[in-house]
Structure 1
Amino acid sequence: MISERLRPPHAFSWFAIALGVIFLGSLLLRLWRIEQFNTLVFDEIYYPVFANRYLTGQFVYNSHPPLSQTLMAVGMWLASGFPAEPDVINGLTGSMRSTFSYRWLNAIAGAAVPVVGGLIAYHLSQRRSLGITAALLLALDGLLLVESRYGLNNIYLLLFGLLGHLALLQGLSDRPRPTVIMRRVRWFRDYRGARFPQLRRFSDWVSDRLRTRRPLKPGDYFTLAGFWLGCAAAVKWNGLGFLLAIYGLWAIVLMLNWLTPQAISFPCNRLANLTPLNMALYFGLVPLLTYGIAWVPHLLLNPHPNLWEVHRQILAFHHAVGSGAGVHPYCSPWFSWLLMWRPVAYFYATARNFSETVPAYPALPQAAVNVVYDVHGMGNPILWWGATAAIIILLIQVWRDRPGDRGIGLYLLISYGANLLPWANVSRCAFLYHYMAALVFAILALAYCCDRLCWQGSPSRWPWGVGIITLCTVAFWFWSPLYLGLPLSPESYQLRMWFSHWI
C-alpha cells in the first residue's frame, strides 16, 4: 500500500536525529563569532539600516520589497534586551546596536535551509538516505554559510521558497492516519446527573478533538505553499523563480501525461490532478495576497509613495542599473555562475598581528601586513563544480530514463532552470549570490547522484559516492577561514585564491 510506504520523516527516529544534528551543527557554525567585525559588512549598509528606520519610525526607501527588513527589525527589537560587549556595539544603523542584533535571525534561517532541503529530497524519493545526503551537502556550502552570518536578505528568499516547495510536495503525498494524542482531557468527567449536561457535552467535545489531530489536507498544504512562495517574492522579486518552477512542472506533467500516461513518477505525477482553477487559487491568489500583506507594515509607516508608485520606482531603479566592471568590480554574467567564476569579497581587512582590532583605518601598507581577514562570498568549489556536473548528468538521465522514472530528475531540472534562466534576460549588474536559488537544486541533484552511487548502483560504485561527499567535506574545511572571516597569513590567503578572478 502506498499509504503504508509513505510515512512522514518523523516516523524514523534516526532520520529526525540526523536532521537535528545537521541543524544544530549548522546553527553553531553560523552563531560562532557572529558578532566579529564591528562594522557593516557588504550590503549590511542597506538592510539593517532600513530595519532600524522601521523601528525608529523614519522614512524608508528600498529597491526590494520590505519583508526581510521587517523580519530583521523584529530580530533587532528582540535582541535589544540582550547583553553585549562594548566592542561589538556601533551606531552605524542609526541607533546604538550590537552586531549580533542584526545577524542572529539570519543565522537561524540559514541553519534551517539544509534541513528543509533534506526534507524536500525525502518527499521526492521517500529515501531517508537521500534526505540526509542532501541536508549534509547543503550544510557544506560556503556561500549559504556566509549569507546567513550577516544582515543580508538572500537567505530569507531561499528559506521561504524552499518551504513553499516542501509544502507542495507534502500536499502531493498521501497523508498518514491521524496521530493519537495519549493525553486525554477528563477535567469534567466527574460531573454526573442533570445539573451540568451542557458542561459535560462540551467536555466530551473537547476530549474528542484533542484525542486525535486532524491531518492537514492537500488543500491546506497547497495554501501553505502559496503563502511561503508569496513570502519569497516579498523578499526579492527573483523569489518568483520558485513559483515559476511549480507552474513549469505542472505544465510539463500535464503535457507528458497526455502524450504518455504514467510518464512521471510519484509524487510529481499528482500535479496533473490540479486544475487551472486550483493553480490560480493556490499559486496565484494566495501568493499575491501574501505579497500584498507583507507591504502593510511598510505602508503604515511610509504611506507616500503609495503601493503602485513604489513598485514603479523599484522597477525604474533596476532598469537604470548598468552592468559590467564599470558599475561594480564584482558584476558577473549569469552563465559564469555555474563555474563560480567571480566570487564576491564581502569584507577584507589587514592587521600587523592577531591581537590587533579590525577593521582599522587607514589601511596598512602592504609591507606591514602579517594577518589577513577576508569574508568571501564564494561557494565550496568542489561542491559547486560537482553540482554543475550533476545537472548535466541529470539531463542525460532524464532523456534516457524510461517513462515513470523521470519525476525526481524533471523536478530538479525545472526548478534549477526556473531560478537560473530568467537571469539571461536581465541587463543590470548581477552577482554570484543571485545564483543561490538555482544552486540549491543543483546541490540536490548532486545528492541524488551520490545516493544512487552509494545505494542503487553496482556495489563497486559506492566508493565514488562516498568519495565525492568526503571531498566536499575536506574542501569546506579548507576554505572555511574565508567563509568565517578567520585570520590568515598572506601566504595562506593566497593558497586559497586558486585563480586571480576569485580575488
Structure 2
Amino acid sequence: MRVSRSAEGAPDVEQDAGATRHTEVSDPATNERTDADGATGPGHDDAAEPHPHHAAPAVGWSTRMRQALRAPKLQYAGRTQEQIERSLLGRLHVTSIPGSRLWAWLGPALVTAFAAVLRLAYLDRPARLVFDETYYVKQAYSLLVLGYEGDWNEEPDENFAAGDYSDLQTTADYVVHPSVGKWMIAAGIRLLGVDSPWGWRISAAVVGIISVFMLARIGRRLFSSTLLGCTAALFLAIDGIHIVMSRISILDIFLSFWVLAGFGALLLDRERYRRQLAKAAAVEISTHGSLRDPWGPKLGVRWWLLVAGVCLGLASGVKWSGIYAVAVFGLYAVAWTISARRSVGVRLWVGAGALRDGAPAFLALVPTAALTYVLTWLPWWLNPNSYNRQWATEVNALADVPERAWMPDWLNSWWEYHLKMWEFHNNLTSEHTYMSQPWGWLIQWRPTSFAWRDVKADAGAMDLCGAERCAGAILAVGNPIIWWGATLALVLVIWAALRRRDWRAWAILAGYLAMYVPWFAYSERTIFTFYTVALVPFVVLALTYVIAELIGPADVPLRERRPGIWTAAVIVVLALVVSAFYWPIWSNQWVPYTFWRLHMLLPTWV
C-alpha cells in the first residue's frame, strides 16, 4: 500500500505524536544532510544510525514514550524566512492544492447540479405526508401560524394535504425535538406555500444539494485534490440514504447539514491555525535562530472555530445527537492544536498546546455551540403560549414549591421541559416494523420504508406501469456499492489512523465517532437506519480514501498506477449504475412489482 504524498512532497501522514520517518536530502542553503521536512539528519544533532552489521539495542517502552514526548530538534541555520515557513508547513501537513482555481469551483458546481436533479425531480411525489412528515411539516406550519407548535386533531393528514388546516388547535403540543429543523422547513413553506408538497420539502432538498457542494470543497481540502473532492461529492450525490432524506421533510437531513458545515469549519480552522503558526514560528526562528518562548508563538482568535461552534449549536438545535459532534470535534480541535505545536519544535508543546491554544480552542467551539443552542429557544421563551412555558408559574400558583425554586421561572420551565424530553428519548422502546440496530447500519441491514403502495390489474396497474401488478415505494436504502465498499474501506482508514497516524484518516473517523458510535449506547431504543444520513458524508469520504490509495501519488509513473486507476474507475461506474437502478424506488416511481423485487437484495429489505 502506498503512502500518499502531497503536491509539495511532504507525506500526508500525521507523525506529530511520535518518532518520524524522514527522507534525507541535501539542504541547498547549508549543504547539510537534512530530512525532507527540514530537520537536520543524524550526524548533526541526533545520534548516528547504528552500523547495519551491528544489532541496534532494544528500545524500551519508557524510552519510546520519552522520545514521543520530546519536541523534535529543528535546525534552520542559513535559511530564509520563506524557506523555514515552507518547511514548517510541510511538517504541519498543510499543502497547496494543484489545479486551476476555475475547476476548484466549477467541478463541485457540476456535481452539485447533478445532485440537484436527483433531489428536485418529482419532489411532489407522493402528494401526501409520509412517515414522520406528519409531525414535522405540521409543526413547521404551526410555527408560522401560531409561533409555537400547536396540537392537531387525530389523523389530520388527509385534510392537511387537501388544504384544510382547521385541525390545528391553539393548545400547545408536547414535542420532543428542538425547533431549528422545523423552522427550516417552515422557511420552505413560507416560500412556496403550504398547499403544495414542494413547499413542504423544498428546504430539505436545498440543504441536501448544498451539502453535496460543501462535501466537494471539504474533500478537496482533505485530499489536496479537486478530483477526489468531486469524487466524494459524487458518491454523496448518488447515495440512496442522502437522496431519500433530501426528498422527505423530516429533521435528520438538517442535522446532517449542520454537522457537515461544522466539520468543514473545523478543517478550515486546522489549516488557518497551522499556517499562522508556521508563519509566526518562521519569523521568530529567522530572527533569533530558534523559538525563544518555550511555549511557542502567541496567535489570535480562531474565528473558524467560532463558526464551527455556531454550526454545531444549530445541529444540536435540530436534534440532540448533534451534541456528540460538539464533544468530538472539540476534542479534535485540542488534539490538532497540541500536535501542531510539537511539529514546529515548541519545547513545552504539551502544556503550550493544551493551555495556550488547546483550552481556548475548546472554549471557542463548545461554549459557542452551547450559547447558539440556547439562543435557538428564543421563540419558545418569547411566546407565553409555548408548551411548558408557564410550568414554574403554574406550580407556584398551586401554592407548591417547584423543584429548583432558586431558578428564575423562565429558566426553570425551560429546564423542566428538557428533563421531559430527556425522559421521553431514554424510554422510547416501542416496537416498530423498521426499527434497526446500529451494528447493521453500515451494511444497510434493515433500511426504512417511507412509503409503499401495491396496485394490481383490477385497480388500474396497466395504466401506471404497464404490468399486471405495480409497486410505488420510497425505500431509504444506501447505494450498496458505496456502503458495502465503505465498510471495507473503514478497515483501511482505521489502520491508516493508527499505524500511519494519517490526519486525514483521523478526520474521517471523527464523523464515525460523533454520528455512529454513540448509538450503540441506545441499541435498546426505537431507532432507525435513516439516522445514518448524518454519517453519509464520512462514509463517502472513507470510500474516497481508498480511491485515493488506488490512484496513487502523482509522482509515481503512470504505468504503475494504471491498474489502480482502472479499479477506481470501475468502482465509480458501478456506483453510478446501481444508483440509476435504484432511483425509481428512491423517488416513488411506479414500477412493475417484479422489478421492485429485484432491488430487494436482502430479505430484511422487504
Judge same fold: TM > 0.5, yes or no: yes
- Matched with 2:206 is 108
Measured after TM superposition, the shift of residue 252 of structure 1 is 4.7
Task: Please state if 1:249 is matched with 2:249.
Answer: no
Task: Please state if 1:37 is matched with 2:136.
Answer: no
Measured after TM superposition, the shift of residue 256 of structure 1 is 6.3
Change (3 A) 1:334 1:241: same
Measured after TM superposition, the shift of residue 400 of structure 1 is 3.1
Measured after TM superposition, the shift of residue 285 of structure 1 is 1.4
Match of 2:371 among 271, 289, 296: 289
Gaps of 5+ in 1: 81-95, 178-216, 264-269, 361-367
- Matched with 2:323 is 240
Amino acid of the residue matched to residue 380 of structure 2? H
Q: Do 1:163 and 1:228's aligned partners in 2 also have CA atoms closer than 8 Å?
A: yes
- Percent of residue pairs identical: 26
Deviates more, 1:166-175 or 1:1-10: 1-10
Query: 3-state SS of the aligned residue for 1:329?
Result: coil
Query: 3-state SS of the aligned residue for 2:318?
Result: coil
Give 1:62-81 correspondences, 5 Å limit: 62-80=175-193
Measured after TM superposition, the shift of residue 396 of structure 1 is 2.0
CA distance in 1, matches of 2:97, 2:495: 31
Task: Please state if 1:394 is matched with 2:507.
Answer: no
Change (3 A) 1:40 1:220: same
Q: Deviations along 1:275-317, whole A, 9 cap, x unmatched?
A: 3431343212110111011111233331345321221111111
Measured after TM superposition, the shift of residue 495 of structure 1 is 0.6
CA distance in 1, matches of 2:354, 2:336: 6
Amino acid of the residue matched to residue 178 of structure 2? P
Task: Please state if 1:437 is matched with 2:534.
Answer: yes
Measured after TM superposition, the shift of residue 415 of structure 1 is 2.7
Give RMSD over aligned pairs. 3.1
Change (3 A) 1:98 1:355: farther
- Matched with 1:183 is none
Larger Rg: 2
TM-score (norm. length: structure 2): 0.65
Gaps of 5+ in 2: 1-84, 151-171, 276-299, 346-351, 392-412
Measured after TM superposition, the shift of residue 44 of structure 1 is 0.3
Q: How many residues align?
A: 427
CA distance in 2, matches of 1:49, 1:272: 47
Q: Do 1:253 and 1:272's aligned partners in 2 also have CA atoms closer than 8 Å?
A: no
Give 1:1-400 correspondences, 5 Å limit: 12-57=101-146, 58=150, 59-80=172-193, 97-174=195-272, 219-250=302-333, 252-253=335-336, 275-301=357-383, 302=386, 303-305=389-391, 306-322=413-429, 327-352=431-456, 370-400=469-499
Measured after TM superposition, the shift of residue 487 of structure 1 is 1.0
Measured after TM superposition, the shift of residue 376 of structure 1 is 0.3
Q: Deviations along 1:125-180, whole A, 9 cap, x unmatched?
A: 32222211111111111110000111111111111111111112112224999xxx
CA distance in 2, matches of 1:406, 1:167: 20
Q: Do 2:239 and 2:482's aligned partners in 1 also have CA atoms closer than 8 Å?
A: yes
Q: Do 2:266 and 2:333's aligned partners in 1 also have CA atoms closer than 8 Å?
A: no
Amino acid of the residue matched to residue 416 of structure 1? Y
Change (3 A) 1:393 1:102: same
Query: 3-state SS of the aligned residue for 1:135?
Result: helix
Measured after TM superposition, the shift of residue 463 of structure 1 is 0.9
Query: 3-state SS of the aligned residue for 1:376?
Result: strand
Query: 3-state SS of the aligned residue for 2:174?
Result: coil
Measured after TM superposition, the shift of residue 257 of structure 1 is 7.2
Change (3 A) 1:465 1:372: same
Query: 3-state SS of the aligned residue for 1:234?
Result: helix
Q: Do 1:348 and 1:374's aligned partners in 2 also have CA atoms closer than 8 Å?
A: yes
Q: Do 2:334 and 2:361's aligned partners in 1 also have CA atoms closer than 8 Å?
A: no
CA distance in 2, matches of 1:276, 1:173: 15
Change (3 A) 1:415 1:248: farther
Amino acid of the residue matched to residue 475 of structure 1? V
Q: Deviations along 1:69-126, whole A, 9 cap, x unmatched?
A: 111112211212xxxxxxxxxxxxxxx6211111011111001112212222222232
Deviates more, 1:285-294 or 1:54-63: 54-63
- Matched with 2:69 is none
- Matched with 2:599 is 496
Q: Deviations along 1:153-208, whole A, 9 cap, x unmatched?
A: 1111111111111112112224999xxxxxxxxxxxxxxxxxxxxxxxxxxxxxxx
Query: 3-state SS of the aligned residue for 1:237?
Result: coil
CA distance in 2, matches of 1:52, 1:76: 7
Q: Do 1:344 and 1:377's aligned partners in 2 also have CA atoms closer than 8 Å?
A: yes
Q: Deviations along 1:48-78, whole A, 9 cap, x unmatched?
A: 0111111221324321111011111122112
- Matched with 2:53 is none
CA distance in 2, matches of 1:249, 1:477: 38
CA distance in 1, matches of 2:320, 2:178: 8
Measured after TM superposition, the shift of residue 254 of structure 1 is 6.5
Match of 1:425 among 513, 521, 533: 521
Measured after TM superposition, the shift of residue 374 of structure 1 is 0.3
Query: 3-state SS of the aligned residue for 2:533?
Result: helix
- Matched with 2:504 is 408
CA distance in 2, matches of 1:502, 1:470: 24
Amino acid of the residue matched to residue 22 of structure 1? V
Query: 3-state SS of the aligned residue for 2:452?
Result: strand
Task: Please state if 1:481 is matched with 2:584.
Answer: yes
Change (3 A) 1:489 1:321: same
Change (3 A) 1:383 1:262: farther
Query: 3-state SS of the aligned residue for 1:164?
Result: helix
Amino acid of the residue matched to residue 50 of structure 1? Q
**Structure number having the greater helix percentage:** 1
Deviates more, 1:168-177 or 1:54-63: 168-177
